[in-house]
Structure 1
Amino acid sequence: MNSLQIKNLSKKYDNGVQAMQDISLEISNGIFGLLGPNGAGKSTLMKTIAGLQAPDSGAIVFNSVDVVADPTFIKQQLGYLPQDFGVYPKISAYDLLEHLAVLKGVGGKKERKEHIYALLEKTNLYADRNKAVSSFSGGMRQRFGVAQALLGNPQLIIVDEPTAGLDPEERNRFNNLLSEIGEQVIVILSTHLVEDVRNLCTQMAIINKGKVLAYGNPAAFIDELEGCIWTKAIEKKELSAYQEQFQVIATQLNAGRQHIHILSKENPHHGFAMKQTDLEDVYFAQLFNTK
């Protein structure tokens, strides 16, 4: 069982932006969701975990090793799937994995070949091993990204916005693959898509403005808010008046009509109906509390 402990991390950039403020998390095997809007500090945290930059203060301990003091250790254990990654034109999937495996220092030629074939099988790309990665569909590219992230059998994998732009079938296939991988290693899923966290993660953190707003089990967060989310269809021109009177955490269009979701422990009356709470409500409620 792998263990990642993040203790009181803080980071302020030269331009004055406080990108991380006293972040503490404990993560073990499985898929851990890091959820937050763009600019929340997710990328800064990922870069710091990966040893690409040092924090101003705090510690990161992976499997009992202080990786702030020894960033090489974490890099040897790490696989990374960025949101977008470039590929060499006309290079086949096998040849590109072979090239990356050499750069990673993975075994001898025979060992690398067996390892790469196993990863292509796992990601359902073996039949396409001789095709250029540049010709792959979006879903195939993301599965190839998983294969390259798994080179060398890393114990910690960081996945950044992995399902953006995928159709529902490819998203489902990709999520099943991530779920299988997460049984053996730590997978940190950094995303602003609530659906990915809901489908995959048993532990999560919501981060915004460099701070952890909530940290724990998604189902437990939903239970805590049950009975506190109310919804009503309104005219668009009425929105500002409702925002003055109630804690409006979200607005959305449904069949062309504006619906608002409000946070209230008591029945707000005024035609509101109780809504079954979901993880999106938890997310918006946490963000509302930091406005």
Structure 2
Amino acid sequence: MVKLFALALVGACGVAHAQTPAINPMPDGSRDMYVGLGAHYAPRYEGAKDRRTTALPMLQVQWSNGVFLSGMSMGMHLSNSPAVEYGPLAALAPGRDASGTKMFRLGTVGDNAGNPGGPSTWLPPPIDDGLPPPSGTEEGVKEDMMVAEEGGDGITADNTVNLLDGVHALKRRVLYGGFANFYLTRQLRLTANALYGAGNDRNGLRMHVALQHLQQELAPHHTLALSAGITLVNRAYNMAYFGVTTEEADHYGINPEYHPDGGIEDVRVGARWNWAVSPAWMVTTGLQASRLVGDARKSPLVERPTNVSVSTALVYRF
């Protein structure tokens, strides 16, 4: 399923604009498409203190029939009302191993503060999605020797502990759900989306609610969009991304056992500045600040609860 979704992303080359009205003025059989390339600077996983700069392909397409592909999500507008948007939604959630969030990320020219996906990297998938082999086995002895050469259990080259060394890797997952947007005014919109299927057990639920001020022209060819929102998750989601099981706690003793409950995971604000260099070319820059709260904030895996991510890209409109 993950492979099929990835092929759909590449082959369809389409996404709905985050600010496309429910009543689509596009001619039948037409589409509006953005493709580009840029860079993304963000923490290596939610709650990490160290950051990475990675390549960021941009992909966003809206079809006249309401189908859209926007970054790592795809769905369809079903509403015929100009004040309400709703429909099914699917998204590809990245995995996570000891190196951090894995799998590349696709960006959009819309306001991404209402669609949190977490940072991601271009690192190759791990050889094994499980825990490192226990000490005492042949594989464990080899690993212990390698760790000793690097400075000790869970110690990186700069003498800091990698908190992800003692937890299971998370696999990539296709999430399913829906979205609903309500226009309070022409420029102000309340948006919500819910996606289910996160974590290795596929039972994690994540919902994001945001208030968005849609793109407003600041000067000729320059527009700015703002948003603020909260993310709510169930217990299974928090346990998958921020929890530590008894097995994980006992394996290397890096993290204490931790079983978080569900609730509000984070609060975030975002801004996106688009500069239309020409009718076809655009420079888009996004800034997002988020803070983990509740049980996610208390996780032993969290090094820094407040983080900022920045992206910029050159985009061509077809």
Q: TM-score, normalised by structure 2?
A: 0.21
| Bigger radius of gyration among the two | 1
* Structure (1/2) with the larger helix percentage: 1
**Of the two structures, which has the highest relative contact order with CA contacts closer than 8 Å and spacing of 6 or more?**
1
Q: TM-score, normalised by structure 1?
A: 0.22
